[in-house]
Structure 1
Amino acid sequence: MKIKKTISSIGKDIVGIALLFFFLFLFFNIEGLKQENGWFTLPASLVNVNTIFLGIVIEAIPFILLGVFFSALIQVYVSEESLQRYLPKNAYLALLPAAILGAIFPICECAIVPIVRRLIKKGMPLHVGVVFLVAAPILNPVVAASTYFAFQNQLVVLYSRMGLAFVLAIIIGLFMYLLFKNSEQLKWTTNELTGRELIQQVKPLDKKPNRVKQTLYHAADEFFLMGKYLIIGAFLAAFIQTFLDRNILVAIGSNEWSSTAVMMAFAYLLSLCSEADAFVASSFGSMFSTGSLIAFLVYGPMIDLKNTIMLFAFFKAKFVLGFIAVVTVTVFAAVMILQLFIL
């Protein structure tokens, strides 16, 4: 069984690395491949896939690095006792501090999965981790600033995005608590279960382990673990963006209900970084309603295609499917209420 898991892990590593090197090769040889008299002519659609793929990866990697570094710091410096001491014991009262915490850290959705995964392993309740998972990518100061600059003449989008994200994060955390009651939903590796991770081993003579070295070991391990799923997710997102007929979706988005659904689908498939998605959303302003743009800006950072790949890799399938369903229903319902009574 252990051999099969090892082979599966190696296979995923090979696929991820092969995809990255393939697209890097296309990137550096793109001009020659475009020319009709070249040794090989690449179809325009595949050129577009390559461009989008590299754009997603290059945009996401700095934030993945930020995320795994924070994750490593949490692993080395934050003890289980600290989490238990400072988090409210009451499951419902713990929801509000988690949402407030999300407003402090400048972490986008590219980096949030490893951080939440590490916090839950450290003892954070599952539903509190969910609140942080959906709140931090939207409520942080960097996203607020980018949304302001993208919608300076339509500040209702900024206020609605931040307000909905805060309220919905608490509601989503509550629903996930009612559904799973903080049951074990993480996937644990054999090494983690037996406590034999190499990066956690300390020589018997070391009374005080080098925490800086441990942090770097954890960060490197986490980066390669997360990176392969980012690459696979970015490839799927680039493929869908290239071959998706957007004219059909624009035709469907002719009223508040359908346009909201279409923009949520766009947000999921485009897999944009939350710190840059406001500028993409503003480009749709002439085609879609204000409410549907808000849905795009709230739904995408909470769940998108590349994050789904990561979530399935590190959480049980039942939890991921439940999480996607809860986020989708709550965001759609909240935006419809917002359009009916406020916008």
Structure 2
Amino acid sequence: MIKWANIFISMILEALPFILIGSIISSIIQMYISEDLVKKILPRSRFISIIFAAFLGIFIPICECAIVPIGRSLIKKGVPIAVAVVFMLSVPIVNPVVVASTYYAFKDINIVLIRVFGGIISAIIIGFLIEVFTSKKKQVVKVKSQYENICDCGCDVTDYFYNKSKLRLCLEHSNKEFFNILRYYIFGSFLSSLFIVLVKEEVLSNYSNGVILPIGIMMLLAFLLSLCSEADAFIAKGFLNYFGVPAVSAFLILGPMLDLKNAIIIGSYFKKSFAIKLISLIILVVLAFSISLTVIF
């Protein structure tokens, strides 16, 4: 019980600063960045825009805990779905802190390169595919949300602050965004911490034979453990001798893109059909990339 409580509380505490930062950035995008400004910043070429988005994480070190609301805000501001999705999926992987922690954990530049470029390639493929499978006329973001600019009492925050500064409105929006994400994050952390305590590494080692099975197990672990991308490499290192490079790579790439916490948040911020497509594509593309690595390793 004490071990579970420690894991549960530590998961929440380590994520709080990132969730707060993500909420503030999301609100700033909503309040201060216009669609015209977005169009000026993004390159006209869709392909170049996607490549640009894939490497933005080097300059915007945000982990997966807070990237979903930022991605949603970008879509609402007119950023193409493919560009926003690539940004949302790649930022937690190319984050310089994540790169450094991965190298420190494995002491192997090959693992770092596989994680970074594997994450970027997978994110780009997912971005292109999600745009192909999503109707341009269909809204993918939940527009009418009880958490967006609406108080618990039902009053409209926009009306309340009609004569106030955008700064106050931005702070109010950040506050609601923060507690909205936090609620889903706590629920996901509760389930993940239970899994960490109940499942032992020795049990998993019995299923390390074959090609697809180890990859599938490590992807499932990445989803259920819901580790922060800045620290997951140290956990993955312990499985390297049991499952091999392809399976561990699947763990390192899938975790920042999709875990239990993120899946819940994605479902709450995006339309159900879009969320299902995005989650399915993430799983299939990461699985395909990891299987391709078995040719080398």
1:296 corresponds to: 251
1:83-232 to 2 correspondences below 5 Å: 83-152=38-107, 154-182=108-136, 183-189=138-144, 198-201=156-159, 210-232=165-187
2:119 aligned counterpart, secondary structure? helix
**1:56 is the counterpart of 2:14:** no
Paired positions, count: 293
**1:251 is the counterpart of 2:206:** yes
**Which of 234, 249, 265 is equivalent to 1:310?**
265
Q: How far off is 1:339 after superposition?
A: 2.6
Query: Any stretches of 5+ residues in structure 1 without a counterpart?
Result: 1-45
Cα separation, 2, equivalents of 1:194 and 1:217: 8
Cα separation, 2, equivalents of 1:194 and 1:309: 21
Q: Which AA in structure 1 matches 2:75?
A: I
Distance 1:241 1:190, change over 3 A: closer
Q: How far off is 1:91 after superposition?
A: 4.3
TM-score when normalising by structure 2: 0.90
Residues 78-121 of structure 1 show CA distances to partners (whole Å, capped at 9, x for unaligned) of 11111123334554443222212233210100010111111112
Cα separation, 1, equivalents of 2:246 and 2:146: 47
Cα separation, 2, equivalents of 1:217 and 1:158: 39
Distance 1:58 1:192, change over 3 A: closer
Distance 1:192 1:294, change over 3 A: closer
Residues 139-172 of structure 1 show CA distances to partners (whole Å, capped at 9, x for unaligned) of 11111111111122x2210011111111111111
1:13 corresponds to: none
1:258-337 to 2 correspondences below 5 Å: 258-337=213-292
Give me the CA root mean square deviation: 2.4
Query: Any stretches of 5+ residues in structure 2 without a counterpart?
Result: none
Cα separation, 2, equivalents of 1:83 and 1:204: 25
TM-score when normalising by structure 1: 0.78
Q: How far off is 1:211 after superposition?
A: 3.9
Cα separation, 1, equivalents of 2:117 and 2:103: 14
Q: Which AA in structure 2 matches 1:109?
A: E
Identity across the alignment (%)? 37
C-alpha contact 2:149 2:157 (8 A) present in aligned 1: no
